[in-house]
């Protein structure tokens, strides 16, 4: 084998190794992105389950049917009404997101509120869906459920004359 053939074969093998390395890096990045998206989806599903459970428990303990729609841009949610599901439309939280809270007769979690707010600093700001509950000292406590949330929009369907009216 001549020197020229050796250099050509080295060049070809080097280009193959480089191509394989780049492909491996791209595959690793795609897998990492897929893993983070799967985690985000799992967190989102868990948050939806918690929200659904809160609404369901408020519905079970409610003595009168129907929903209360809070006034737009109200400053804070009222946590004094027992056995209710209330929606606050267009609140002052992130990107005009809606918020809602439930109040039940349950001793486990009598008050649960869900809202979106920004967290972080400057360019690192991100929307987070929070669950607000009361702790053992009856003080409000906020727990992050899922990150990367842009907004929370709630539509409430209320039966009226045999049809659903969406608010």
pTM of the model: 0.66
The Cβ of residue 101 has, within 10 Å, a number of other Cβ atoms equal to 22
> In the predicted model, what is the mean pLDDT of residues 106-124?
78
**Each residue of 31-59: pLDDT tens digit?**
999 998 898 889 889 998 988 888 887 77
Strand 99-103 relative to strand 111-119: parallel, antiparallel, unpaired?
A: antiparallel
Do β-strands 84-88 and 68-70 pair in parallel, antiparallel, or remain unpaired?
parallel
Cα first-last separation, the chain: 81
Quick check: 22 pLDDT over 70? yes
Give percent of the chain above pLDDT 70: 77
Q: Where are the alpha helices (DSSP H) in 62-129?
A: none
Note the residue count of the chain.
167
What is the chain's percent helix, strand, coil content, to nearest 5? 40, 30, 35
Least trusted range by pLDDT, from 16-25, 88-97, 134-143: 88-97
Averaged pLDDT for residues 109-138: 82
29 or 64: which leads in pLDDT: 29
């Amino acid at each position: 084998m001549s020197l020229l053939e050796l250099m050509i074969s080295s060049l070809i093998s080097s280009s193959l190794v480089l191509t394989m390395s780049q492909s491996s890096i791209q595959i690793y990045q795609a897998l990492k992105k897929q893993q983070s998206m799967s985690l985000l989806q799992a967190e989102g599903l868990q948050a939806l389950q918690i929200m659904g459970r809160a609404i369901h428990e408020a519905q079970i303990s409610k003595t009168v049917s129907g929903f209360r729609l809070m006034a737009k841009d109200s400053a804070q949610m009222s946590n004094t009404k027992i056995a209710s599901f209330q929606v606050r439309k267009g609140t002052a939280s992130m990107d005009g997101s809606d918020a809602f809270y439930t109040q039940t007769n349950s001793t486990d979690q009598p008050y649960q509120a869900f809202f979106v707010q920004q967290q972080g600093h400057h360019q690192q700001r991100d929307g987070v869906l929070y669950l607000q509950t009361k702790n053992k000292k009856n003080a409000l406590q906020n727990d992050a459920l899922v990150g990367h949330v842009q907004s929370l929009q709630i539509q409430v369907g209320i039966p009226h004359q045999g049809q659903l009216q969406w608010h």
